[in-house]
Amino acid sequence: MGETSIEEDEVTAHYVLDASGRPRRMGESDPPPLEQEPPPEPHAPPAPPPPPRLWQPRDMIGVTLAGRYCIEQLIGLGGMGAVFRAQHVVIHKPVAVKVLNPTYSASEVDLERFLREARAASQIRHENVIDITDFGYTEAGQAFLVMEYLEGHDLGILIEQEGRVDWRRVVPITLQICAALRAAHAQGIIHRDMKPDNCILVPREDGREQIKVLDFGIAKLLDERREKGLTGEALIGTPEYVAPELVRGKEPDPRVDIYALGVVVYTLLTGELPFQGVSYMETLHKHLSEPLVPPRARAPDAEIPPELEAVVVRALAKDPKDRFQRIEELSAALLSFAPEFALGIGSPTGREFQGRDTLGPLAAVGPRRTRPRALAIGLGLGAALVLLIALLAWPDDQVDEPARPTEEIAAPAEPPPDPPPVAPTPAVEGTTAAEAATEVDDTAGDETTGDAGEPGEDRDRALPRALSRARFLKAVSRARASVRQRCRDKGLPGMKVDVKVTIAASGAVRGVTPVGTRAGSSLGVCVVEAVRKLKFDPAQRGSTHRASFEL
């Protein structure tokens, strides 16, 4: 009566919790299961950052490095970096700046190589070596070198433009490269990458040409131990200019630069590389085993003097013992072809030599002695120019190190009725050209009148005026067996070497010069060494003869 009634089934009904946790009456069907949300997917990796922008060398134009060097122009680009023209902001001096690219700057090995160039060049300090004046890092951490700025082009471009270069121009260029290498070797530094691209030809205001050698980046400092971290056992260098012993894994010494320079000179003279394969390995194999085609055979119309060819062939000997042992010897062999250079006039251009005859060794006069390393020169009456020239030097077979040079000379072919000027005696290491000139004068008297210090007029009358051809050949015939025995492992049966032998009045051999294609070969050098030890009959004056030796 007015009260709210509850139905019995509501009161007595039993409730249970369904699967979702909600109450429901017992007996009621379960509600349809709820759709379960798919499990969350694992987090996707973050998107990779955009690749770093490649280094653009041109972006450096206008940048000032180290607060001093304002980059103005890109002038060169290579695998390891770029070279710019810049200006010192204080003194307004143009300089060249070589910047290592970011990848190499981050590499310890490559950075060390880059620094090596700076250290090597700063030690040498020579007018034919590019001068490195500063070093630093860009704000991005890239290493850079500051060098003198040169207006010129490298010898590689010269070869591309001219094909081959007249020998009268090549010789002064080569002498300047020799001077640069001589200065480097004196500091215990081997270049190891001598090639045309590393020799800059700079025209001077007087019309002459100056060479600057650069890129000592893989130079070997002889007083350092092998840098396993820098080079390990890898062969480094440019394959067309690599000496055979480096291909064999030998330690470098100055003779590897002599070989590479021989390749440079050969290429300048002929317009072609002496050894070039279709692949890196084929080129190296040719250096090891392929016979050299002499320059005159490769370029028969280039009018290369035979004596100059002999110098180049010897520089390219495959056995380092058969090459010039020191760069000074190569310089001495070349000086006879460029006397103006020896006088300090400078490096003549090819135009200044046009129309001249081949310049061979000239007689020396003048008893004056000068300081070591000085060149003995004399100016005769009239317009005659006389100059002491040291020629080809032959190595010692018994050592594998740079040997004491023994320089060879040329002399008049036959003695004239009156006493002629006598060619210079070979200078030994430590003897200056001027000292050698004095010895020549003294010896000239000996060859005419007998041994110095003896009033040998009666004895002189008993001696023949000069060693006869018959007596020369008789002595040579006696020596042929011993020469063959000494040199049998230097060539094949049937190989022949022709030599020109200059003999003093005393009968001693004064000089031996190989003639022909065997000059500079292992066999040719061996024969020269053997003939130098021969003794001939004395005469009133010296003479020159030719002989052949066959295995």
Nearest to 170 by CA among 155, 191, 150: 155
The Cα–Cα gap between 136 and 64 comes to: 12
Answer for the pair 41, 51: CB distance below 8 angstroms, yes or no.
Answer: no
In which element (H, E) is residue 478 found?
helix 469-487
The Cα–Cα gap between 172 and 175 comes to: 5
What's the CA dihedral at 302, 304, 306, 307 to 10 degrees? -170
The Cα–Cα gap between 514 and 453 comes to: 34
Q: Match 């250096």 to its residue by tokens.
A: 287
The Cα–Cα gap between 227 and 251 comes to: 12
What's the alpha-carbon Rg for the chain, to the nearest Å?
38
Q: Match 């270069």 to its residue by tokens.
A: 165
In which element (H, E) is residue 246 found?
helix 244-247
Q: Three-state SS string across 74-85, please?
A: EEEECCCEEEEE
The Cα–Cα gap between 183 and 200 comes to: 17
Residues 6 or more apart in contact with residue 199 via CB below 8 angstroms:
154, 155, 173, 177, 211, 212, 213, 214, 264
The Cα–Cα gap between 94 and 77 comes to: 19
347: which 2 tokens?
Answer: 């490096």
Catalytic residue among 154, 193, 257, 397: 193
β strands within 346-445, DSSP E: 377-379, 385-387, 393-394, 406-407
Phi, psi torsion values for 82, nearest 5 degrees: -140, 155
Q: Is 400 part of the annotated catalytic residue set?
A: no
The Cα–Cα gap between 224 and 230 comes to: 12
| Integer CA distances (angstroms), 160 to 114, 153, 274, 527, in order | 28, 11, 16, 39
The Cα–Cα gap between 408 and 32 comes to: 114
Q: Indicate which residues carry an active-site annotation.
A: 193
